[in-house]
Amino acid sequence: PANDEFQDTIENRCTICHTRGRVDKALGQEEDLEVLLQRMIERGAIISERDRNVLGTFWGSPLKEEAPSSPPTE
């Protein structure tokens, strides 16, 4: 899946119940996706295998800035 597909899934599926800010906060906090998905399912969410795959591929990466790497020490 492409990053666009991830963003579409967030916009079209996640924001049915959550604000985009809440989703972005979970991304930034590196929440455990499986725990979150299970909690949502227990509360009645229907999450397709496609949604799970798309979210699992990109969870925690598209909106986060990568920390700059430190130069190796000798």
Q: Residue 1: which of 68, 67, 66, 59 has the closest Cα?
A: 59
Cα 50–chain centre separation: 13
Q: Rounded to 5 degrees, what angle do the CA atoms 67, 38, 15 make?
A: 65
Residue 17 covered by a domain: yes
Predicted local confidence at residue 73, as pLDDT: 56
Task: Tell me which residue range forms the domain holding 14.
Answer: 3-58
What are the pLDDT digits (tens) for 34-54? 888 999 999 999 999 999 888
Please report whether residue 31 resides in a domain: yes
Interval 9-19 mean pLDDT: 92
Within-domain flag for 72: no
Specify if 33 maps to a domain.
Answer: yes
Q: How many domains does the chain have?
A: 1
Does the residue 65 lie in any domain?
no
Residue (of 42, 43, 41, 9) closest to 27 by Cα position? 9
- pTM exceeds 0.85 for this model: no
Q: How many angstroms separate the CA atoms of 35 and 32, rounded?
A: 5
35 domain-assigned: yes
What pLDDT score does 61 carry? 57
Tell me, yes or no, whether 73 lies in a domain: no
